Structure 1
């Protein structure tokens, strides 16, 4: 069995401390220390609203992107919250993710849920 090289982080928590001290800390350090070759942060649910409203979290998104973390957001959530354009302006790829998440799960990809 080959070693997995891509980490997906499904971030649904609206808690800013969890975002800063777990989501971003681990994602950024994973790239900085080569723990994973690729890291994709999936913004979904409550985290969508947090990103749209919190400037400190927006700065952490930028830091993660600069470290090489791919950031994508659920379009269904962001459309319902009216923040899709705001997320796109932050360089976040906004797309429907239900099928993609299902495929990740069915493929046994490495998925960390927070």
Structure 2
């Protein structure tokens, strides 16, 4: 859905998500995931919209606005460098680092 840039479709889907949250008496939706993963092999990249910063930020903004139109809070997850799992950090000594470009 992110790659299409169809704003109306995204807004409709997000309003449906917010409507379902209202029916279930949920006040906060813990998404979207906006982590810009550096490797496709690690972590929670499957939860994110995409690996591109422009597409991820624009889709994330549409997602949040669509949900908040129904007075449901939305919480961004995994802002930066949160692509590794606990197992990689613990067992393999993996450390998170960010390349400054």
For the aligned pair, the TM-score class normalised by the smaller chain equals: 0.3 to 0.5
TM-score, normalised to structure 2, is: 0.39
Question: Rg larger in 1 or in 2?
Answer: 2
TM-score, normalised to structure 1, is: 0.36
* Structure ranking higher in helix proportion: 1
